[in-house]
Structure 1
Amino acid sequence: MAGKRLLTVCGWTGCKFYQKAKGVATALSALYPADYEARLDESPDRDTYRGKLDALRQKTPTDAKAQSHTSSPLVFLTEGGATSYLGGCDDTVAWARARLSPSTTENGSNGICNQNDGFTKDHGFDYDVVVIGGGSGGLACSKEMAKLGAKVAVLDYVKPSPQGTKWGLGGTCVNVGCIPKKLMHTAAILGEAMRDDAAAFGWASPDVKHNWAAMRERVQNHIKSLNFQYRVALREAGISYLNKLGEFAGPNTLKVTDKKGKVTQITSARFVVAVGGRPNRLDIPGGEHAIDSDDIFSLEKAPGRVLCIGAGYIALECGGFVNGLGSSTTAMVRSILLRGFDRECVDKIQTHLVAHGVKLQIGVTPTKIEKNGDVLTVHGSDGSVNEYDTVLVATGRKADTTGLGLDNVPGAAKDVAQNGKLKAVDEQLPHAPHVYAIGDVLDGRPELTPVAIEAGLRLARRLFGAGNERMDYENVATTVFTPLEYGAIGLSEDEATESLGAENVECYISEFTPLEHALSDARSARGDAAFAKLVCDKTQDLKVIGFHYLGPNAGEITQGFSVAMRKGATYGDFLGTVGIHPTVAEEFTTLTVTKASGASAAKGGC
């Protein structure tokens, strides 16, 4: 062990914080085998781990912090023959970043990330960098690198969906994701407001009828305008836009194929893989009759009776807005809704969906689809047989790396996970250091557009500018645009309890009626309500480690509070902030009921 640093990571396998610290330690040992070694003390469950804690703490018996450490993971550092307490997950990540941060003298036109990628100014290739994928992350990264003086090309080629749907430059978010989803969600919310709220505010009850074709045309026209703007932006930035499919033919060579099948080659010193993912297909007899999220936004007519297969945010968002736009909607769910989100909040979303007319088949999977004319007959694992006009499958997405030719880049195959995603350290492939990756194609990272954009910007500045800031994937805010919108930051209550122990977690909650809904008899009859929740760490002065909100304008509200979360705000900071009255966001500055108290979270009055 002379000259090596040993990282001993202790924890239990189901703890995501242990898995993260384990990932840091194993990545260091893979990147720098002569300098670092990872040793894992892994327990199968939390109780087994806690039973070993007293013995584990004896590695540093005189360290008071180590003796009071109760969470997973527990990490020790051994160097120079001496073992010291390093801390938990956050401490380990911070230590690794400090050890690996390049000095400003390492950056510039041939800057590096963790490993020298061989870049020199006189490399002799066609481009300094080729970005493979013209989605949000790839476009942001390419434009930033061009601004910093790099010669850049962007490859973007849309492979049609199984149903034949195609689209333009801009990736999933712009064409078949966030943008059309939010617009159609807004259409459904407007319809609900007209049906349920308008009369209560003095408007004569309108005869509400939705025109799917008119909405679709306006949505698609907006998307096409964005496609055009992106092409103009690339041209103005001096970036070569190649509407071609790329495949590695060697470490620095891409074979590119245009839509007519013509094949040429280009070379580059560096590559950024930003190909994102595509929806999983339904592998059952008749599965080819189902559509997915690549198709739903361009349907020529209203989808009619809809079956949404899946329980993630894509399934529930799409199922929510088609139901709100007048389609009879059923959601077929294998186990639970929105796995990984706060269960208390998810239960309220489920209740809201049912109250708004979405039928749920929970614990059921499809076994066969039969097509008879325009009617689809779906057989379920519970023996059910039902007819639909549209079957939408949303059972997850897979990385679009098949056919990328990474086997032709020495070492790169070692960095491909079993799920097809890429295992990178600070966006750099450890075994092919001139290849980088950002966005949904990265293993273990949030599949969110702003994450891809920010990671791309920071990578560009490290490679071609004076930047040394790495992407911070913690406390990333997100919103699920179900009919009852859900904004979340940080840990769920269950995650906090698993990590810290129930005795160290305090939850402040409130259930209330937004003022804009107070006059609606329809909402009152359904029991529609908003919900606010702060998950706090008792061991850190009630630091807020989880933020959860259900109600109108969740995205706008959650975004603002994410700044406070990033700065380490405590419950006291929230309570000491003067709210804006009368708003739903104000509720987070007045929370006083704890979940542990058993008191009612229902709020009355102003």
Structure 2
Amino acid sequence: MADFDYDLFVIGGGSGGVRAARWAAGYGARVGLCEEDRYGGTCVIRGCVPKKLMVFASGFSESVEDATGFGWRFERSDFDWRFFIDKKDREIDRLEQVYQRNLEKAGVTIHRARGVLEDPHTVKLSTGETITAAHLLVATGGAPFVPDVPGIEHAITSNEIFHLETRPERMLIIGGGYIACEFAGIMNGLGTRVTQFYRGAQILRGFDDEVRGHVAEEMRKKGIDLHLGRDLVSIEKTGSGLAVKCSDNSISEYDVVLYATGRRPNTRGLGLTELGIELGRYGEICVDEYSQSSVPSIYAIGDVTDRVNLTPVAIHEGMAFADTVFKGEPTPVDHANIPTAIFTQPEIGTVGMTQEEARELYDIEIYRTAFRPMFHAFADRDQRMLMKLVVDKASRRVLGVHIVGPAAGEMIQLVGIAVKMGATKEDFDRTMAVHPTAAEELVTMRHAVPG
């Protein structure tokens, strides 16, 4: 490896690339990394972190309402958009500096430049510098996808929503995935009148069907104007806003149109096809269980591979890659039973199989409860939680757990351990309940749903 500038060169300074670089450096590898934008990637700069801050902020409007049900009295409650955005920006700046310092402390050489592959061991930087490495790792993440419709230049994506100068009074959100549904809840909670179009029959495709229906119903209760089976045809800028023509030929006007119609791997212009690297239908880099591409010296992790597009997964893939290549311990990535939280309002926590997936492979039982939590009942709020266990009748193993309601994400992290370990329904039954909590329902469901 002495003939190369580095043992490892990473293209992309997001969560996965940074973790892989630091891990490899910890094993004694000479590591370089290039990033053309900001360190921290989608998660820190324009994804999980600022989004969760917005989720927190949006929740206070409902908290104020609930507080009155407990006897609190408030004269007024106003949201200062500019104050929040400026403070959010300062926090993101701080986190980016943390990422950069951690790289430097690990001994990783940083290049603020775009990198393009020239051959299996060479990267050409936008600064004009040429870098060679024994191993190359592509960790460039994904980018929002928007369709080619008339007037699309007037719409924004999830990248731009974090930088709006003012809070829009009227917003249209296009899409039915978790990003669209999360921002519908956020903006609704911050006081914007939110309309959401999704061309499919139900939002949140890929999740448990009962969860999808439950969340859609609760979103509507909160005031989100959700339309299924409807799509946008064109956008036209007017003197008072954006005129949107719909697939049913109706026309409505909004201040902002947000497209949240999915993300695609960020592989364009990286020189991948020129090197013969196998790409998938959407441009994703095809890799094996060790994150190795069809060119042996080139690896890829994270959203650019379009396996499981979650920050903790990218981080885990980065560590597994470093263990495989630089520690000498071949470590395949286990993508089974990944706990996931979706910060819709109400939020979703899920791990394992949906009911629909499980019944294709097993003879199953379903344990389910839907109820109004003590907090909401006392506050006179009509919001219901859903908890559901999917169980294999033969082995009694819990194949999937699905929670909709407050703190669902916190709960599913811990339940995920049990599911990953292969816990049975009887293991859940033997676990004492923590009372009074909503989570106790997970261990007190004794009877399967008939049929």
TM-score category by the smaller chain? over 0.9
Match runs of 1:435-446 below 5 Å: 435-443=298-306, 445-446=307-308
Which residue pairs with 1:401 in the alignment? 267
Shift in CA distance, 403/430, structure 1 to aligned 2, threshold 3 Å: closer
Residue 384 of structure 1: how far off its partner (Å): 1.2
Q: Give structure 1 regions of 4+ aligned residues with deviation exceeding 4 angstroms.
A: none
Pairing partner for 2:123 from 243, 247, 254: 254
Match runs of 1:299-310 below 5 Å: 299-310=164-175
Which residue pairs with 2:295 in the alignment? 432
Task: State yes or no: 1:510 paired with 2:369.
Answer: yes
Deviation track 1:193-242 (CA, whole Å, cap 9, x = no partner) reads 112x1112221134121111111111111101001111111111111111
Which residue pairs with 2:109 in the alignment? 240
Alpha carbons 2:352, 2:401 under 8 Å: kept:
yes
Pairing partner for 2:391 from 531, 536, 541: 536
Which residue pairs with 1:204 in the alignment? 73
CA distance, structure 1, for counterparts of residue 240 and residue 424 of structure 2:
56
Any idea what SS the aligned residue of 1:282 has? Answer: coil
CA distance, structure 1, for counterparts of residue 234 and residue 17 of structure 2:
38
CA distance, structure 2, for counterparts of residue 239 and residue 462 of structure 1:
19
Which residue pairs with 1:98 in the alignment? none
Residue 252 of structure 1: how far off its partner (Å): 1.1
CA distance, structure 1, for counterparts of residue 421 and residue 367 of structure 2:
20
Match runs of 1:23-422 below 5 Å: 121-122=1-2, 124-158=3-37, 168-195=38-65, 197-257=66-126, 262-335=127-200, 336-373=202-239, 375-409=241-275, 411-412=276-277, 415-422=278-285
CA distance, structure 2, for counterparts of residue 593 and residue 186 of structure 1:
36
Task: State yes or no: 1:547 paired with 2:401.
Answer: yes
Alpha carbons 2:290, 2:330 under 8 Å: kept:
no
Residue 190 of structure 1: how far off its partner (Å): 1.8
Residue 155 of structure 1: how far off its partner (Å): 1.1
Task: State yes or no: 1:450 paired with 2:312.
Answer: yes
Alpha carbons 1:427, 1:438 under 8 Å: kept:
no
Q: Which runs of 5+ in 2 are unaligned?
A: none
Moved more, 581-590 or 568-577: 581-590
CA distance, structure 2, for counterparts of residue 172 and residue 182 of structure 1:
13
Deviation track 1:7-31 (CA, whole Å, cap 9, x = no partner) reads xxxxxxxxxxxxxxxxxxxxxxxxx
Residue 184 of structure 1: how far off its partner (Å): 0.5
Alpha carbons 1:536, 1:571 under 8 Å: kept:
yes
Which residue pairs with 1:489 in the alignment? 351
CA distance, structure 1, for counterparts of residue 313 and residue 21 of structure 2:
15
Alpha carbons 2:365, 2:390 under 8 Å: kept:
yes
Amino acid at match of 1:536: V
Amino acid at match of 1:468: P
Deviation track 1:458-493 (CA, whole Å, cap 9, x = no partner) reads 111111114333211000010110111110001111
Shift in CA distance, 156/388, structure 1 to aligned 2, threshold 3 Å: same
CA distance, structure 1, for counterparts of residue 124 and residue 293 of structure 2:
23
Any idea what SS the aligned residue of 2:129 has? Answer: strand
Q: Percent identity?
A: 40
Residue 303 of structure 1: how far off its partner (Å): 2.2
CA distance, structure 2, for counterparts of residue 304 and residue 156 of structure 1:
36
CA distance, structure 2, for counterparts of residue 138 and residue 206 of structure 1:
49
Amino acid at match of 1:512: F
Residue 594 of structure 1: how far off its partner (Å): 1.9
Moved more, 489-498 or 372-381: 372-381
Amino acid at match of 1:417: G
Report the TM-score, using the length of structure 2 for normalisation.
Answer: 0.97
Alpha carbons 1:534, 1:548 under 8 Å: kept:
yes
CA distance, structure 2, for counterparts of residue 185 and residue 374 of structure 1:
29
Residue 298 of structure 1: how far off its partner (Å): 1.4
Which residue pairs with 2:416 in the alignment? 562
Shift in CA distance, 593/224, structure 1 to aligned 2, threshold 3 Å: same
Any idea what SS the aligned residue of 1:153 has? Answer: strand
Amino acid at match of 1:213: R
CA distance, structure 1, for counterparts of residue 106 and residue 239 of structure 2:
50
Cα RMSD after superposing both structures: 1.3
Residue 510 of structure 1: how far off its partner (Å): 0.8
CA distance, structure 1, for counterparts of residue 350 and residue 337 of structure 2:
9
Equivalences, count: 450
Amino acid at match of 1:513: R
CA distance, structure 2, for counterparts of residue 267 and residue 408 of structure 1:
17
Any idea what SS the aligned residue of 1:487 has? Answer: strand
Residue 282 of structure 1: how far off its partner (Å): 3.3
Residue 582 of structure 1: how far off its partner (Å): 1.4
Any idea what SS the aligned residue of 1:596 has? Answer: coil
CA distance, structure 2, for counterparts of residue 595 and residue 296 of structure 1:
42
Which residue pairs with 1:51 in the alignment? none
Match runs of 1:446-485 below 5 Å: 446-485=308-347
CA distance, structure 2, for counterparts of residue 374 and residue 282 of structure 1:
24
Shift in CA distance, 486/428, structure 1 to aligned 2, threshold 3 Å: closer
Alpha carbons 1:509, 1:592 under 8 Å: kept:
no
CA distance, structure 1, for counterparts of residue 430 and residue 343 of structure 2:
30
Residue 515 of structure 1: how far off its partner (Å): 2.4
CA distance, structure 2, for counterparts of residue 298 and residue 514 of structure 1:
36
Higher relative contact order (CA 8 A, sep 6+): 2
Any idea what SS the aligned residue of 2:226 has? Answer: strand
CA distance, structure 1, for counterparts of residue 294 and residue 245 of structure 2:
46
Deviation track 1:572-599 (CA, whole Å, cap 9, x = no partner) reads 01111112221111110101232226xx
CA distance, structure 1, for counterparts of residue 273 and residue 378 of structure 2:
62
**Structure index of larger Rg:** 1
Alpha carbons 2:211, 2:404 under 8 Å: kept:
yes
CA distance, structure 1, for counterparts of residue 75 and residue 149 of structure 2:
44
Deviation track 1:39-78 (CA, whole Å, cap 9, x = no partner) reads xxxxxxxxxxxxxxxxxxxxxxxxxxxxxxxxxxxxxxxx
Alpha carbons 1:497, 1:505 under 8 Å: kept:
yes
Moved more, 244-253 or 461-470: 461-470
Alpha carbons 1:194, 1:206 under 8 Å: kept:
no
Residue 569 of structure 1: how far off its partner (Å): 0.4
Any idea what SS the aligned residue of 1:575 has? Answer: helix
Alpha carbons 1:282, 1:288 under 8 Å: kept:
no
Which residue pairs with 1:594 in the alignment? 448
